[in-house]
Structure formats: C-alpha cells, structure tokens
Amino acid sequence: MARRVLTRLFHTVLVVWTAASVAFLLLHWAPGDPISAMADASRVPPAQRAVWRAQQGFDQPLAVQYGRWLGQVARADFGFSTSQQRPTRDVLASRLPNTLLLMGLALLTSIAAGAALGAWQGARVGSVGDRVLSSLMLVLYAVPEFWVALLLLLLFTYYLPILPATGMVDAVFHDQMGPWEQLQDRAAHLVLPWLSLTLMGTAVFARVQRAAMRDQWREPFVRTAFAKGLTDTTVRRQVWRTALLPVVTMAGLFLPAVLTGAVFVERIFGWPGIGSALLQAIALRDYALVSACVVLGSAMTTIGSLFADLAGAWLDPRMRTT
C-alpha cells in the first residue's frame, strides 16, 4: 500500500514537471517575451527593456531559464499577472477557493445523485423507469454542458426570473445584508452554476453505476445471498457496495471534465473563479497566469486521481496488495 502511494506520488510529480515543461516551451515559442507583452511596452525605450529583461533573467541561456522556471514552479511562484496587475500567487489565492467550492460541491452531488439513480436503475434493468431514465441520462451526457448552462440561464433568469444570473454575491446589496441574508444570497448565486455542472456529472455517474450494478447482479454471490434467505434490501445493499468501485474510479477520471466544465460555467455565470481568470488571461495574453493555470490544473487532476485510487483500495481489499 505504501509503495502504491509512493508510486502515485512520483507520478504526480512527473505530471506536474511535464506540465511545467510544456508551459515553458509554449512561453518561449510565443512571440516576444513577458516584457514586451506587458501593457504599454511599446512606449518603453529599448534600453529600458533590456535592463528589465536582464533583471528578470530573460537574457540568460535557455537551460538556465528553464532551471529557474522549475524552481519557481516548485515554490508555486509564477510571476506577475499582467491581466490582473498583481502577483499570480495572489490571483490564485483569491480565485481558487471559489472554483474549488463550485467543483467540489458539484462533484459530491453528482456522485451522490448518479450513484442513487444508477443503483435504482441497475436493480431493474429493462423496466420502463430504467429506460426513461437511461434516455434522459444519455441526452444529458450528449449535450455540451455550456449549452445546458446557457439554457438554464435563459430559463431561470429571464423567462422565470427567480435566480440571479451572474457573480457569487449581489454586487450592490450584499454588504448591507444581515448574516442570514448573506448566506441566502450566496446560495442563490451558487444554484445555477452548480446545477449546470451537476446535471452532466449525474449523467456520467448514473451510467457507470447502472452498468456496474447490472454486472454485479449476475455474480454468483447474489444467488448465494438469496439462497441464504436474505431479504431483497440486504442483497441490494451488498450488490451496491461491490458496484461502487467503478463509480469511485470514475470520480478520479472525471476530474478533468469538472475542471473543463468549470471553465465554461464560470465564464457563463460570471463566477469569479480560476476558470474565468484563465479565459481573461488568454484574451489579454497574460502568459504568467496561463502557465500557472496549466500547471495547477494538471496537478489538481493527478492529485484527484490519486485520491480516487486510494478510495478504491479502501473499498476493494483486492486492490490493496498491488
């Protein structure tokens, strides 16, 4: 088990290193350097630019710069974000919690809802209810989540205006509210972004859970359990426990999709997270923030799959030995 964790940790480091190298390559492949990309750089005389360049070390050999860049990544210091006009670390510190809140909540609810629906379906494959739900899940699975987000936005802020459209809190009145109202305000702003991510996630997990449940239902231990005279509910619970493993594995694999979804959803609902900061950084060619996001996103994904792996080992003793 300890060896497994160590291998996976090494893998995580490898991934972050690769992501950092890709970001470095892209940085140097891009036209100009961060100095000329800075705002108003055209008005700065070449002599001054050369001084800045030397200060930042951009005149050093590529290998030296690469080493310095890796050092920066290790310290989670990605330099100055030109689009936000503050250090990248500050941007991450202020934006990341919002994204994690959204992603974490969506992930938890979609696993719960997906596992529940899938387990229900898996115990009665082929019934009317199963077929209706399967079609619904397939459609949800097939449509792009940003489209779902746009439809939800249209539906609940325009035709049936019961929810706020953008931001995390009311831009004007939030500060004047009492604590309880502030909480309500936050919750109301969370609903649509959360729902957009959750609908897609639920479809993914329900499909996996249903298939796993259906397969487990054919295993010999089910017949044994019934032969022993166990009740329907007890057997169902046992089957469900063994069928939970693919769902946990899926949770790890699904992280990139949540991350991707969060980028779109944050954009559409004006959610002040890392995704919307990234899109803004791309538009303004803020190389520091973009590369920070690439490294961070890769790190988050591998760490997530590491946790999924460990959870799987906890669920299924057979996986602990390897």
Partner 1 sequence: MTDRRKRARGRRARRWRGPLLLVGLLAAIALGAPWIAPYSPDVPPTYATQLHLPPSAAHPFGTDSFGRDVLSRVIHGSRVSLSLSVAAVSLALLLGTAYGALAGLIGGTVDRLLMRMLDVALAMPRLLLLLAVAAFFPTRLPLTAFILLLGCTGWFEVARLVRGEVQALMHRDFMLAARSLGVPRVRQLWRHLLPHLFPILAVTATLNVAGTITLEAGLSFLGLGVQPPTPSWGNIMLDGADALFANWWLTVFPGLAIMLAVLTCHALGDALRDLFAMDQLPA
Distance of closest approach, residue 286 Cβ to partner 1, in angstroms: 8
Task: Give the residue with the Cβ less far from partner 1, 4 or 186.
Answer: 4
Distance of closest approach, residue 145 Cβ to partner 1, in angstroms: 9
Task: Give the residue with the Cβ less far from partner 1, 51 or 154.
Answer: 154
Q: What whole-number distance in Å separates Cα of residue 136 and Cα of residue 203? A: 8
Instruction: List % helix, strand, coil for the chain (3-state, nearest 5).
Output: 80, 0, 20
Residue 8: how many CB atoms within 10 A of its CB? Answer: 17
Q: What whole-number distance in Å separates Cα of residue 226 and Cα of residue 221? A: 9
Task: Give the residue with the Cβ less far from partner 1, 45 or 126.
Answer: 126
Beta bridge partners of 81: 86
Task: Give the residue with the Cβ less far from partner 1, 14 or 51.
Answer: 14
Distance of closest approach, residue 150 Cβ to partner 1, in angstroms: 5
Measured at the CA of 199, the angle between CA 147 and CA 207, to 5 degrees, comes to 115
Distance of closest approach, residue 256 Cβ to partner 1, in angstroms: 4
Distance of closest approach, residue 159 Cβ to partner 1, in angstroms: 9
Q: What whole-number distance in Å separates Cα of residue 290 and Cα of residue 293? A: 5
Q: List CB contacts of 177: < 8 A, sequence separation 6 or more.
A: 170, 185
- Counting other chains too, the contacts that 128-132 makes at CB distance below 8 Å and 24 or more residues apart are 130/210
> What residues line the site for partner 1 (CB under 8 A)?
11, 14-15, 18-19, 22-23, 26-27, 29-31, 138-139, 142-144, 146-147, 150-151, 153-154, 158, 207-208, 211, 256, 259-260, 263-264, 267-268, 278-279, 281-282, 285, 287, 290-291, 293-294, 297-298, 301-302, 305
Beta bridge partners of 86: 81
Distance of closest approach, residue 262 Cβ to partner 1, in angstroms: 10
Task: Give the residue with the Cβ less far from partner 1, 19 or 248.
Answer: 19
Task: Give the residue with the Cβ less far from partner 1, 134 or 198.
Answer: 134
